[in-house]
Amino acid sequence: MSELTELTAAQLVDGYRKGEFSPVEATRAALERADAVQPAVNAFVRLDAEEALAQAQESAGRWRRGEPAGLLDGVPVTVKDVLLLRGRPTLRGSRTVDPQGRWDEDAPSVARLREHGAVFLGKTTTPQFGWKGVTDSALTGVTRNPYDVSRTSGGSSGGSAAAVALGAGPLSLGTDGGGSVRIPAAFCGIFGLKPTYGRVPLYPASAFGTLTHVGPMTRDAADAALMMDVISGPDARDWSALGPVGGSFVDALEGGVRGLRVAYSPSLGGQVAVRPAVAAAVRRAVERLAALGAYVTEADPDLTDPVDAFHTLWFSAAARLTQHFGPHQRELLDPGLREISGLGARISALDYLAAVDVRMGLGRRMGRFRESYDVLVTPTLPLTAFEAGAEVPAGSGHRRWTGWTPFTYPFNMTQQPAATVPVGLAPDGLPVGLQIVAARHRDDLVLRTAHTLYEAGVAGVDAPTRV
């Protein structure tokens, strides 16, 4: 049973097809693993064992009849607790949300997974309303790193990253408004993709607007491609969703990187101080891309740090989110969220539009950059996971989480697809992530480049053994 928790979604589906094991066995194994690791890492808001096993029984019947519902029939999945899951409260990490509300609708990505027969284990932890790059809240406590429980899992999809890393389901849905899929995926040693904005529909719309993407968090790039084949495509509830996908993301994995024009930016032109162990691991992976036939050039995009503009967009969204909160509700806010909401409330419309201008300029410069390069490779983060329960590393001098995530949030502003790939463990035993970015609508290139690293044995790290 424990071996089933080590399989990818693709391997599970293959096993179901061959009759080697059943969705019930895989679901029971994932639930047992989730129960075992929860006290140490705190990855889950809730687990729904009875409902999950009922779904697995239905899936097993379909497989026996040779009539699977879809591409992920019987695969255990988890959902970040900012996305609607029918029949279960979506509390968004906040005591301000009434759990007794009407929970009668799935988010678009959840609905697509349900249509394809996925088994829902439960909801994963998030900081309040997903506002920061680590995962802790007054509602659920601190979510910890599978490789060292004294360290953070990252965030805001920290529960999802920890769950996948520890074998509590091979797939999870996360959201990413400034790095919230890629940050925890990098810290926890898994694969995470922020697709092109609109490629995966979102409803209800995020308070953080067009910065927020929905994406897969998985064991490897192949599973992410499989998940993208399910969750991509239009949904009438999302006015900004893109049209139908032109082909299969799984089919697009093949082809390698020979001839691919890769820009390697180790520090965004010296703007970022990257830990030596992180820099070395990323460089080794980039050298492997070159050995596999990619044309690698050390080149930096014109990304003069747009943090002030990002803060304007982020803080004003936080103000809008909490605009109608009364005094009691404001007392229930994370102090950091309460602070940025106050700052956001003082931002003028002209300041906001100036930030939009910065965003458009950034997108224009990245558009020009892609004329010379197919993909951009950077570290995902300049450091490995730091102490749990803190928004910023001790002694860093940073005020907000954006201080240590300079490689992630710019690509939310440009809406480009970006993924993180685990490329080794640092001497402290913690995972290192490499980020791959491509032009808007070229999610296939991101996935193919990442898949090539996995196929070459460069990507992927040993599973955590301390939990």
Residues annotated as catalytic are: 80, 156, 180
Cα-based angle 220, 222, 227 (whole degrees, multiple of 5): 100
Cα-based angle 138, 142, 144 (whole degrees, multiple of 5): 170
The per-residue DSSP string of 397-410 comes to --SSGGGG-TTTTH
Alpha-carbon Rg of the chain, whole angstroms?
A: 21
Q: Which of 138, 143, 180, 171 is closest to 159 using CA atoms?
A: 143
Q: Six-digit token pair at 396?
A: 């860093």
Q: Which of 156, 78, 106, 77 is closest to 412 using CA atoms?
A: 156
Q: At 283, phi and psi to the nearest 5?
A: -60, -40
Q: In what order do the strands lie in the sheet with 213-218?
A: 44-47, 119-124, 76-80, 171-176, 213-218, 191-194, 418-425, 431-438, 375-379, 261-264, 295-298
Tell me if 140 sits within 8 A of 11, measured CB to CB. Answer: no
Note the residue count of the chain: 467
User: SS3 for 42?
Assistant: coil
